[in-house]
């Protein structure tokens, strides 16, 4: 019995075309990128010309390109979005990622549509609804546990995509209005100012200060690299790396790291890589050497301690070790890791404030920093800038190659060269046999192999070269090289010609939306979105805050992160039911509300 193979996708972010190509070279099966407008990262935009170049590059390897159109839109913007989506369809984008359901009321081409995590894809009924209306994939919230993901998979057939790495929003995606409330910059419009990384104080209704001037809403970064097998078994088939604002070095290190992790996890299973080719890197990956605030698995295994980064929202980087000896101009450290000239280091001082400096020089075990301020014995040191690693990444030679077999068949009339790639695509080049027998067949065969396997600048690598026929003919090197170039060009053209994005047409229907009434948290910003929900038997009773600007007594954030839990005040363990308040640096007070039955915290616009 043939076991069904399940394609598994490593999905990487692309700030721009350079990052996108690097991600493909490092082994990504797909990338997601922002277009000229309407992406949830307004500062990461790309024109159609660059997106088309990226698509053509990705499709050589059967890799995919998804385009983010995941903000909520005005009625006028919907018209622009329709034009953009049609243009993306023409250049063979593989899918669009959306939040605004008004898009589904447009006359769309047959392009695959994914429901952004901004759609708040938490409950099974909503995910079933998206499946019934023709969406091909939902991007799950980061807050879900393995058991919750498995339950969703058990009850649905739609593709499931899960974040596995990167920065964590403290709020459920799509359910945060804090940035818009504080400074008019809406996360649902791609303009989040990250108020969750600012300082706050926490106090009780009786005035007791629990924490003062700390980054109380700042989380560590996501890292599920040790949970790949569990996620596969739970039903995830697309593993997503966060980071559309991250640079190319981040992409090279993190994508290569997860390519290795996923390849190891699917070895000798019925899971297979979703694209073609193998990536070749010449460095040791290390996720601690790129931007991170420390790592957490968040809620994947249930609620746990130490998921927050309340002392700093900045990158601490790689843990090094404790200081052993301190002199007035140098220190020594207990570590098996070597610090180098030009490295950036950081540490927390006695007041738990993050400080940093550069390494001026090292002499044997003595480390001379640019500043000794705050450095003392037993201080734990982190390296937040590894100069040698960054230079190495910048100059590294990363390649992705599709394996091919070359077959040469000769008779008295013709010599046929056949190139067959790992996906069974075949091209041939035939030449008239006007050649003499080789005087030294053994040397001639070696020349064949040497010249035909010179595929270094192409997308291919020779796996095997097979000669059929009893006679060996002397073919000049110039002709062999020309044949090789023609075969490579024709095979690339064939691969691109054969590649076609999945056809997916939304057929409008009237399946009931699971919620009968929708308030501002549904983020309905345009008339088409209202038409969509009305058609699906749901009444819009309140428009998006971005439309009404009505913040009175509103819930500004919903999060599974809980400050009561952080400070050992969980209502399940204590009878103290005092109200708690967050106070920002300007003195603005926000009341906290706790839904303990569902383990959620809410930030309210009321004192």
Tens of pLDDT, residue by residue over 235-255, are 999 999 999 999 999 999 999
The pTM (predicted TM-score) of the whole model is 0.96
Q: How confident is the model at residue 271 (pLDDT cuts 50, 70, 90)?
A: very high
Interior angle at CA 517, CA 512 and CA 521, nearest 5: 110
Cα 314 vs. chain centroid, distance in angstroms?
20
Higher pLDDT, 4 or 19: 19
> What pLDDT sits at residue 395?
94
Q: What is the percent of the chain with per-residue pLDDT over 90, rounded to a whole number?
A: 93
pLDDT reading at 39 higher than 90: no
- The two tokens of residue 31 are 């990338």
How far is it, in rounded angstroms, from Cα 219 to Cα 306?
9
Q: What is the pLDDT of residue 114?
A: 98
Rounded CA-CA distance 257/4 in Å is 27
Mean pLDDT of 571-577: 75
Contact call for residues 273 and 266 (beta carbons, < 8 A): yes
* 51 neighbors 65 (Cβ within 8 angstroms): yes
Q: Look at residue 572 in the predicted model and tell me its pLDDT.
A: 76
pLDDT number for residue 470: 82
Over residues 406-415, the pLDDT tens digits come to: 999 999 999 9
pLDDT at 528 over 80: yes
Is the per-residue pLDDT at 594 higher than 80?
yes
Which is nearest to 184 in space by CA: 590, 545, 527? 545
When pLDDT is averaged across residues 115-140 and rounded to a whole number, the result is 97
SS3 at position 566: helix
Task: Write down all domains in the chain, each with its CATH number in brackets.
Answer: 6-168+220-289 (3.20.20.70), 316-395 (2.40.10.170), 399-498 (3.30.420)
pLDDT of residue 574 exceeding 90, the answer is no
pLDDT at 146: 98
Distance CA 533, CA 530 (A): 5
Closest CA to 38 of 69, 7, 83: 69
Q: How far apart are CA 594 and CA 583, in angstroms?
A: 17
Average pLDDT, the chain: 95
Query: 524: pLDDT confidence band, cut at 50, 70 and 90?
Result: very high
> Is the pLDDT reported for residue 139 higher than 60?
yes
What's the half-sphere exposure (Cβ side, CA atoms, 13 Å) at 244? 19
pLDDT band per the 50, 70, 90 thresholds, residue 492: very high
Q: Which contacts of 126-132 are long-range, i.e. CB under 8 A and separated by 24 or more positions?
A: 126/514, 127/152, 127/156, 127/158, 128/155, 128/156, 128/514, 129/511, 129/512, 129/513, 129/514, 129/536, 130/158, 131/156, 131/157, 131/158, 132/509, 132/511
HEC string of 513-544 equals CCCCEECHHHCCCCHHHHHHHHHCCCEECCCC
Cα(333)–Cα(347) distance, rounded to whole angstroms?
13
Token pair for residue 464?
A: 């095997």
Asked if residues 26 and 63 have their Cβ atoms less than 8 Å apart, the reply is no
Largest CA distance in the chain: 100
Q: What is the pLDDT of residue 606?
A: 77
Confidence band, pLDDT 50/70/90 cuts, at residue 578: confident
Give the mean model confidence (pLDDT) for residues 402-425: 96
Q: Is 105:134 a contact under the CB 8 Å cutoff? A: no
What mean pLDDT do residues 440-452 have? 93
State the alpha helices, DSSP H only, in 164-245.
178-183, 228-234
1 pLDDT higher than 80? no
Number of Cβ atoms within 10 Å of the Cβ of 600: 16
Estimate the share of the chain in helix, then strand, then coil, as percent rounded to the nearest 5.
Answer: 30, 30, 45
pLDDT in tens, 494-520: 999 999 999 998 989 999 999 999 999
pLDDT score, position 372 = 95
- What pLDDT, on a 0 to 100 scale, did the predictor assign at position 317? 97
Per-residue pLDDT tens for 12-31? 999 999 999 999 999 999 99
> Are the beta carbons of 605 and 590 closer than 8 angstroms?
yes
């Amino acid at each position: 019995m043939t076991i069904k193979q399940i394609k598994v996708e490593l999905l990487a972010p692309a700030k721009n075309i350079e990052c996108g190509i690097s991600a493909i070279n490092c082994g990504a099966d797909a990338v997601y990128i922002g277009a000229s407008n309407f992406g949830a990262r307004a500062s990461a935009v790309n024109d159609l010309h660059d997106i088309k170049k990226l698509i053509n590059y990705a499709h050589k390897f059967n890799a995919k390109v998804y385009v983010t159109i995941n903000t909520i839109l005005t009625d006028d913007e919907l018209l622009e979005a329709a034009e953009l989506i049609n243009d993306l369809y023409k250049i063979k984008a593989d899918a669009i990622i959306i939040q605004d359901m008004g898009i589904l009321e447009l006359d769309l081409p047959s392009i695959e549509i994914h429901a952004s995590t901004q759609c708040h894809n938490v409950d099974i009924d909503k995910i079933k609804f998206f499946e019934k209306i023709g969406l091909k994939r939902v991007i799950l919230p980061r807050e879900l546990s393995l058991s919750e993901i498995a339950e969703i998979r058990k009850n649905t057939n739609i593709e499931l995509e899960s974040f596995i790495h990167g920065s964590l929003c403290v709020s459920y995606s799509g359910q945060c209005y804090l940035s818009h409330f504080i400074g008019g910059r809406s996360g649902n419009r791609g303009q989040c100012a990250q108020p969750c990384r600012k300082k706050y104080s926490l106090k009780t209704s009786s005035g007791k200060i629990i924490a003062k001037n700390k980054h109380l809403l700042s989380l560590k970064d996501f890292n599920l690299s040790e949970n790949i097998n569990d996620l596969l078994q739970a039903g995830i088939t697309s593993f997503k790396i966060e980071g559309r604002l991250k640079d190319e070095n981040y992409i090279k290190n993190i994508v290569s790291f997860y390519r290795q992790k996923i390849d190891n996890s699917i070895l000798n299973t019925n899971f297979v890589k979703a694209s073609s080719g193998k990536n070749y890197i010449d460095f040791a990956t290390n996720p601690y050497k790129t931007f991170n605030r420390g790592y957490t698995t968040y809620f994947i295994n249930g609620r746990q301690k130490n998921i927050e980064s309340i002392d700093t929202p900045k990158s601490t980087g790689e843990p090094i070790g404790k200081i052993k000896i301190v002199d007035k101009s140098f220190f020594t450290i207990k570590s098996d890791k070597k610090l180098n000239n030009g490295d950036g280091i950081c540490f927390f001082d006695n007041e738990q404030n993050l400080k940093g400096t550069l390494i001026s020089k090292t002499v044997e075990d003595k480390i001379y920093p640019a500043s000794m301020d705050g450095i003392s014995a037993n201080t734990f040191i982190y390296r937040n800038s590894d100069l040698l690693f960054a230079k190495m990444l910048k100059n590294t030679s990363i390649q992705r190659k599709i394996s091919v077999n070359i077959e040469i068949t000769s008779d008295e009339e013709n010599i046929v060269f056949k190139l067959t790639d790992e996906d069974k695509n075949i091209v041939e080049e035939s030449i008239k046999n006007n050649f003499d027998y080789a005087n030294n067949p053994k040397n001639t065969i070696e020349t064949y192999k040497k010249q035909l396997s010179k595929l270094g600048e192409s997308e291919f690598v020779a796996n095997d070269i097979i000669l059929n026929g009893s006679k060996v003919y002397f073919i000049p090197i110039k002709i062999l090289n020309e044949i090789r170039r023609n075969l490579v060009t024709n095979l690339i053209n064939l691969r691109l010609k054969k590649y076609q994005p999945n056809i997916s047409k939304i057929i409008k229907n009237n399946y009931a939306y699971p919620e009968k009434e929708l308030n501002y948290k549904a983020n309905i910003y345009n008339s088409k979105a209202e038409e969509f929900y009305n058609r699906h038997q749901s009444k819009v009773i309140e428009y998006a805050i971005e439309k009404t600007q009505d913040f009175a007594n509103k819930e500004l954030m919903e999060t599974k992160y809980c400050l009561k839990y952080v400070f050992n005040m969980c209502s399940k363990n204590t009878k103290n039911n005092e109200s708690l308040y967050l106070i920002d640096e300007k003195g603005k007070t926000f009341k906290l509300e706790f839904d303990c039955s569902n383990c959620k915290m809410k930030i309210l616009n009321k004192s």
